[in-house]
A and B are shown apart, each in its own frame.
Chain A
């Protein structure tokens, strides 16, 4: 549900947790990101930083400058100043990512898990079956049909927590149990209704659908698109996975290794919640690509 009034909870002695609701509803994330932008613009005294989560937000404040009660008062006023969710507009870059679905590397990882930990159906087949899709090819079509919204970053530094913006691409899957001990860098996976890209090789629990060669994490800071940072994404970015063959994957990978790879980023758009709602309202949500 979406709460009528956001809930405020103390998170220890220097954080406020704000919960906007308790469901996977993108509208809650739009409010969290709208509020984060408003706090930055307002330069609210005593607020150190914010971290929007999916349906909630973490606000770090300095209790020697502002009391918990006062910071909540300030935050309530800022939320009121946002107006209706319809009015929220957010800067939003669009990243086009070459992605090889059903790739050999995540297949090796799944086979390794099946041999060493517990036997398991090939992830894309299982995800297709559980979501009533014809086969793994339709899964690729459906998953790659939508732009994905970077709702938050976490779990691992720079790891984007993604939701499809097109409701016709909505898929839900269970997580691995027990989790995997490794996942190839660049894996595109899903857990619940969320998709994610693994920035580096880490343990994990998401179902594996494909792999992108495009770095989203670079401690060597080789690409200008990172703006001098080591993390590529910000909340409110969008990603479109563009299916490529193994040849296309390897060509992109070679350009990345040479340092000549060009990130395909569209930066002239703003995301309008009003326009998004209008578009979603026109769709037949039972349709699948």
Chain B
């Protein structure tokens, strides 16, 4: 059991998300930076789950902190690991390294500071945060008020149940990720995409501008969508009449209610492309210029307000290669030393 002394700026219980709800408008939710949460789980000996929630495997639940400031007290001995943005965390005042596992003894306090680079930090605990499952997952959806701990961010005096240990503290403490694999969250963040279904609705100049611009993250970003500030993009003239009738005169409105999976980049009215994130339902309504590849949604989750992001278009084949390579990496026992 862990006791919350301070929930920080916004901390939620997350795993790798739920499947099977998209037809009902239930988003997958789960960690914004799935890579960081999965490595944290590997470090503490938990199942990491996958970005592809096949076989109902969202992995163990941990905590996602937005920018940090979480403070916890252990009510019994636990093995923890912190990954993602480095918050300069301490245990009873002693610094603990990021991307490593460590022990938090009964009565000790873990205090996270404010992240200096990267936007989200992850905490895993051996045994996993043991809140009830909804549709096979413990991920929190705050605006819908479901999943996680009572469907809300953590607050002072919350108690977080932890699943039963399956290994000894001695075997799990002091493990760390191979240093060359620790991501640097240095802007401009490079985010790979594949072409979106309506790329051809945009003028050639606008498609070029989309990939040439260093976009700045709008600070109103959240887990539903991230808007990026930059040049206005324009649409080719000659909007067909049926679209004006069915979808509206604005050229960014495409027909009816197209499917828009996580990672879709929509451009309402040509202004401020939005990357749809893990808490977004699966129906959009605006021209989809690009789709962020699965592995790189982790990088999107680490962009800080006003930081720069560059989109890089790759082929569909290369996106699958990147995904396969990342899955092989996470399954490789030698990444932990």
A interface residues with partner B (beta carbon < 8 Å): 1, 9-15, 17, 19, 22-24, 36, 48-58, 60, 62-65, 68, 152-159, 161, 174-175, 192-193, 219, 229-231, 233-235
Contacts and interface: CB of A to CB of B under 8 A. Distances in A.
B27 to A, nearest CB: 7
A161 B257 contact: yes
Nearest to B141: A157
Contact of A153 (B23, B52, B291, B293): B23
A238 to B, nearest CB: 16
A248 to B, nearest CB: 29
A22 B263 CA distance: 23
B194 A235 contact: no
A24 B243 CA distance: 10
Interface in B14-54: 19-27, 52-54
A10 B316 contact: yes
Nearest to A64: B324
B259 A12 contact: no
B76 to A, nearest CB: 30
B281 interface: yes
Contact of B52 (A1, A14, A52): A14
A50 B261 CA distance: 11
Given A50-B23, A152-B257, A229-B24, 20 more contacts: A9-B197, A10-B316, A11-B261, A12-B194, A13-B323, A14-B261, A23-B242, A51-B22, A51-B259, A54-B256, A60-B261, A62-B52, A64-B327, A154-B257, A155-B25, A155-B257, A155-B281, A155-B283, A161-B257, A230-B144
A58 B282 contact: yes
Contact of B19 (A49, A56, A157, A159): A49
29 contacts: A1-B242, A11-B259, A11-B264, A12-B319, A13-B293, A13-B316, A14-B323, A23-B242, A24-B246, A24-B256, A50-B23, A51-B259, A54-B256, A55-B255, A56-B259, A58-B282, A153-B24, A154-B281, A154-B283, A155-B283, A155-B285, A156-B25, A156-B281, A157-B25, A157-B26, A157-B141, A157-B281, A159-B25, A219-B146
B145 interface: yes
A12 B24 contact: no
